[in-house]
Structure 1
């Protein structure tokens, strides 16, 4: 968990049960109203871009993402098997 003050471009958050990457964010303080964050984000599952406002200090789910190089090995009856190029571990994906 984190708060809206942790927002940065490229950060992945869980919003409405789905993963989104932050494309653009702005901290706005309009006149005599409370401050908020205007966030433009892209859904990682379907690619749709949405905009949303978060209250300043609101709790958000920050997701730690990691990218690694894998090599496709073969397809067995239960899924696809890939090998991690760094440590040669094999991973099966259904």
Structure 2
């Protein structure tokens, strides 16, 4: 159990059978009445954000999350097979469990899997990945870095907007958090 007075950004709590992460908090002590804590909570599984007010000193269950480093080894049908880097045990995750970041997942990539009990909450990819462009419109003489952008499909099947000068076969760095082009490798 954790007191609402101990809320900090990043603390995880259990409400309504779900795990919520504290995004913002504000201790309010009005001149009249009792103190309270106004929070903004983000659901760890769905990403929904809600605002909730707690009485000062109110206790709620704290969610203890377990993070383990795993390496993606191969894809078996609709499931992705991962190897735990400490125990060398295999685990399988579906695309739904991994979420929308599955579009950047490639073999031999190390990820962090965040669990609450037996429930998988999140698969954290590296902040940036280097992938090869397999399909894009050809570059034309005069294309510059400050010009426009065009769509490109990378080796994992994801589509990213890249500068006009990027050609098929080039390796580019992509920010997995914002789905944006960062540069060439």
TM-score by length of 2: 0.45
- Unpaired runs of 5+ residues, structure 2, are 95-185
- Unpaired runs of 5+ residues, structure 1, are none
Cα RMSD over matched residues? 2.0
The structure, 1 or 2, with the larger RCO (C-alpha pairs under 8 Å, 6+ apart) is 1
Aligned to 2:32: 32
Task: Give a deviation string over 1:27-82, Cα, whole Å, max 9, x none.
Answer: 100111100000101011211110000001111111111322211335669x6542
Task: For 2:75 and 2:60, locate their aligned partners in 1 and report how far apart those are by CA, in whole Å.
Answer: 38
Aligned to 1:53: 53
What is the SS of the residue equivalent to 2:51?
A: strand
Task: For 1:10 and 1:82, locate their aligned partners in 2 and report how far apart those are by CA, in whole Å.
Answer: 27
1:1-94 residue pairs with structure 2 within 5 A? 1-74=1-74, 81-92=81-92
> What is the aligned length?
93
Moved more, 34-43 or 58-67: 58-67
Task: For 2:74 and 2:61, locate their aligned partners in 1 and report how far apart those are by CA, in whole Å.
Answer: 35
